[in-house]
Chain A
Amino acid sequence: SQQGEEDPQALSIQEGENATMNCSYKTSINNLQWYRQNSGRGLVHLILIRSNEREKHSGRLRVTLDTSKKSSSLLITASRAADTASYFCAHSGGGADGLTFGKGTHLIIQP
């Protein structure tokens, strides 16, 4: 399977703390993307990092990519209750015509 894996599967932290989620993948990639999904809704694109980039920032989000380890991490700083959602990494490449998604990390921010 070319599918990636997120880690941890579930994460519960207090509001204001930082949340870190990890993603591993198995194939060569063109880029790696992170998406967010609120319960039962569609996915929303958060950030894309290209295979030649190592780190990228967007607001309270920081993404790193280590192609030698085939892994990425998503850091959400100063978490808010509204950040409660499932977070998925998705990668392209490996001959697929679309994106390959991981199983996701379910993040709960406790007020």
Chain B
Amino acid sequence: ETGVTQTPRHLVMGMTNKKSLKCEQHLGHNAMYWYKQSAKKPLELMFVYSLEERVENNSVPSRFSPECPNSSHLFLHLHTLQPEDSALYLCASSQARGWETQYFGPGTRLLVL
């Protein structure tokens, strides 16, 4: 147990659905991250939030929309996804943005049909 929880753990959705992934950290950290892990590819950093301010990776398609209502919660809103978006989505947190040790949640395994 790392102190970072993610729900749901598994999600199957159609390309026209709208769903949200939730992440919560109980560590008092100020930075939170979304990563995408696809088969045979390295972890891809999607979004970084520091003190609820977003630092966006510009290569992320707009069908992924993050939200950070407070420093403990992070959401990833999904809409009109493609089958190639199927992956393990990992949330992480760290004390501060940048080079600190990151603590990961268990991930949400997403399948887009």
What is the interface of chain A, defined by CB distance below 8 A to chain B? 3, 30-31, 33, 35, 40-45, 48, 88, 90, 92-93, 96-104
Contacts and interface: CB of A to CB of B under 8 A. Distances in A.
Interface string B68-94: 000000000000000000001010100
Interface stretch (B12-20, B59-67, B104-112): B104-112
Contact of A40 (B101, B104, B107): B107
B4 to A, nearest CB: 7
Given A42-B106, A42-B107, A97-B55, A103 B42 contact: yes
A101 B103 contact: no
B101 A3 contact: no
19 contacts: A3-B42, A30-B98, A30-B99, A35-B104, A43-B43, A43-B90, A45-B102, A45-B103, A48-B101, A88-B42, A88-B43, A92-B98, A93-B99, A97-B48, A98-B45, A99-B45, A101-B42, A103-B41, A103-B42
A71 to B, nearest CB: 17
Interface size for chain B: under 10, 10 to 19, 20 to 34, or 35 or more residues?
A: 20 to 34
B22 interface: no
Given A40-B88, A98-B33, A103-B41, A31 B99 contact: yes
Given A97-B55, A98-B33, A45 B101 contact: yes
Nearest to B33: A98
A102 B42 contact: yes
**Among B33, B42, B48: residue with most chain A CB under 10 A:** B42
A35 B94 CA distance: 14
Interface string B13-39: 000000000000000000001000000
Contacts of B55: 97
A100 to B, nearest CB: 8
B104 A43 contact: yes
